[in-house]
Chains A and B, each alone.
Chain A
Amino acid sequence: MASENYTMVKALNEALRRSMEADPKTLVMGEDVGRLGGVFRVTDGLHKDFGDARVIDTPLAESGIMGTAIGLALRGYRPVVEIQFDGFVYPAFDQIVTQLAKMHARALGHIKLPITVRIPFAGGIGAVEHHSESHEAYFAHTAGLKVVAPSNPLDAHWMLRQAIASDDPVIFLEPKRRYWDKGSVDPLGEAPAPLHAARVARPGRDLTLIAYGPMVKVCLEAAEAAAEDGTQLEVVDLRSLSPVDFDALEASVKRTGRAVVVHEAPVFMGMGAELAARITERCFYSLEAPVLRVGGYFAPYPPSRVEETFLPDLDRVLDAVDRALAF
């Protein structure tokens, strides 16, 4: 099949379909994932083709969804769980952190929990409260979980297929403001990269912008704008938040000498703190400036009328770039 123009939603849907076709033990479960096809339509058509037994509309109970998915995995199934919105995962947090993340180690490796937890995450779509959270640091902080966030349809498709095939639990963060972005995907082709490899989304020599999920596009736009002024920004799409491909980051930052980390989550105690610390350890003698961070403020995610203030945009990214270049 030739590459087609896929939205991220279509790319994810196709990934679920192909994974379910490849392995009869793969299940999809969550609220409204059946006949409705999910509130974002990521599971559209799956119920029709795979039926009740494999596309399971669940009661509205997130801990119940997560806990029963663990039980199904213990019975040999491979559940793909949909949490309807980011802010609704917190009732399932206990099951994810105390059970899902630790059971393999607790059993000294005797049991595996190949569960993918899909969460539409982060803001930028004008949603109401609890529908725009960036909670990646909570999950990345927990040993036993893998955490990934695609930024485009191609990665969304292949990373989801890789996540489902993984024998480890994977928190799969879908940037909902990029759901309708289009890109080229060939489901019959090969994965463009391993699940946990970072990707240089745009090469440059003056500074490395590090981002993942929804902020990759913002950083690419910032690099485009900076290029007009003769500044060559390299954009690295992290793709995986646990583990982090530090080798790729080190290679980039050693070339450019400067780094700015961009994410939507509050800067304080966020992914950027970890990335900045590790980059400093690995690239201390190559750095021309401290690693700077751009992100959300230390405040609850704001009402949608002012969310643009909270979210890093092209200007805030370029402001940080200017500060880094001024050292």
Chain B
Amino acid sequence: MNVTVESTAGAATAAPELVQLLTPEGERVEHPRFSLETSPEELRSIYRDLVLVRRFDSEATSLQRQGELGLWASLLGQEAAQVGSGRAQRPGDYAFPTYREHGVAWCKGVDPLNLLGMFRGVNHGGWDPNEKNFHLYTIVIGSQTLHATGYAMGITKDGSDDAVVAYFGDGASSQGDVNEAFTFASVYNAPVVFFCQNNQWAISEPTERQTRVPLYQRAAGFGFPGVRVDGNDVLACLAVTRWALDRARAGEGPTLIEAFTYRMGAHTTSDDPTRYRIADELEEWKLKDPIERVKAYLVREGWADQEFFDALEAESEQLARRVREGVRTMPDPDPSSIFENVYAEGHALVDEERAQYLAYAASFDGSEEVGEGR
């Protein structure tokens, strides 16, 4: 058997199969299979998304350090993969995220504050997924790829031309569920795009610990195309995801996109990446920053002036302030809410335990503060 094991981290510009439309230096390049036309206005809008998403993310990291959030899973370094794939979606398309898709949520129009409830500990999600077609964050690795596939099967039954994007990471590619999702999507020709953000690290384990073949090549074994895209190139991510979604809409079935990127921060704020990866690697990836290259392109083309960047900076700070104040004033749930929504139709035991709890709570002085329920 002759298996080529590619070096992963650091290979982003070298690998010939990597789809790239904007170099790390901010130079626009063409790709024979994937083209994209972007107006100056659209490019500025993309840049705005990237900047605001990064600012939101860094504010959340700060809020965790200040004790306002129990945990945060930063997307630092993955903005292009998320904004590119997020902007490729139509409102009718459905996204099934992991717990790091803050940039996708942003593009889908989900209020960033919704994403913070789980990390503050006031809920496990809480938003209405159908409002913006953005499903709840899923913490169990890879589970959501099956939900996405089932949802896509439903789209086919409905005769709709909507499509689905299932997000997961390089670590999740090892899970049975992800492989079962590939099988189901393939045999039912489901309109689902599997968008793997290969950020090189599953907590402390490198991609080499998950696979011996490049991840995008896995798709071939399941009978659908796989594409490796420069995950730090927002234009390439947009073009390839749009292409894959178009395929899905046209009844041509699933696609696997491996967005080759890098997690610049820790897995979560509980993690210490200095224990498992070297500083050189980080420095190398800093040169491929997804935002700087768009900025360089905008400036080179003369499509954005200092006034634009200053206004965006002010908008970023405004967003950060709104997030900070929103988190700090986020109310704790009523204690009796733990009994709500356990079942859609009620359950005798839940009702009994709710009544017991309320009676117990009421037995204390000032019981009205302990929680009267509804």
Contacts and interface: CB of A to CB of B under 8 A. Distances in A.
Contacts of A71: 146-154
5 contacts: A77-B157, A105-B124, A106-B125, A144-B342, A146-B343
Interface string A67-97: 1111111111100000000000001001100
B125 A107 contact: yes
Given A111-B130, A167-B344, A196-B348, A106 B136 contact: yes
B177 interface: yes
B136 A61 contact: no
A67 B343 contact: no
A1 interface: no
Interface stretch (B64-72, B82-90, B180-188): B180-188
A68 B344 CA distance: 20
A146 B184 CA distance: 27
B10 interface: no
* Interface range, A side: 35 or more
B123 interface: yes
Nearest to A64: B180
A243 B157 CA distance: 34
B143 interface: yes
Given A68-B149, A95-B146, A167-B345, 7 more contacts: A59-B183, A71-B154, A75-B154, A105-B124, A106-B124, A107-B126, A112-B344
Contact of A67 (B135, B181, B342): B181
A74 B146 CA distance: 12
Contacts of B183: 59, 61, 64
Contact of A58 (B158, B176, B184): B184
Contacts of A94: 140, 143, 177
B180 A59 contact: yes
B126 A98 contact: no
A109 interface: yes
Contact of B344 (A61, A77, A109): A109
Contacts of B181: 64, 67-68
A143 interface: yes
A236 B344 CA distance: 27
Nearest to B126: A108
Interface string A297-325: 00000000000000000000000000000
Kindly name the residue among B152, B154, B176 whose own CB sees the greatest number of chain A CB atoms within 10 A.
Answer: B154
A63 B344 contact: no
Interface string B47-71: 0000000000000000000000000
A191 B330 CA distance: 47
A151 interface: no
A67 B147 contact: yes
B155 interface: yes
B29 interface: no
A111 B151 CA distance: 13
B344 A104 contact: yes
A244 interface: yes
Interface in A158-182: 166-168
B243 interface: no
B140 A72 contact: no
A64 B146 contact: yes
A283 B78 CA distance: 61
Contacts of A102: 124
Contact of B180 (A67, A112, A144, A244): A67
A91 B145 CA distance: 16
In the A-B complex, the 9 residue pairs with the smallest Cβ-Cβ separation, listed nearest first, are A71-B150, A67-B146, A75-B154, A68-B150, A64-B180, A110-B128, A71-B151, A243-B348, A109-B341
B347 interface: yes
B318 to A, nearest CB: 28
Interface string B99-131: 000000000000000000000000111111110
Contacts of B349: 242-244
B127 A69 contact: no
Instruction: Determine which residue in A67, A77, A112, A244 has the highest number of CB atoms from chain B within 10 A of its CB, and name it.
Output: A67
A40 interface: no
A50 interface: no
B147 A70 contact: yes
B350 interface: yes
A143 B341 CA distance: 11
B143 A98 contact: yes
B150 to A, nearest CB: 2
B325 interface: no
B340 interface: yes
A186 interface: no
B357 to A, nearest CB: 14
B151 A75 contact: yes
Contact of A243 (B146, B151, B347): B347
A77 B157 CA distance: 10
B184 A107 contact: no
A111 B154 contact: no
A72 B342 CA distance: 21
Given A64-B181, A168-B344, A74 B150 contact: yes
A107 B347 CA distance: 18
A198 B42 CA distance: 63
Contacts of B154: 71-72, 74-77
Given A61-B183, A67-B177, A243-B349, A143 B151 contact: no
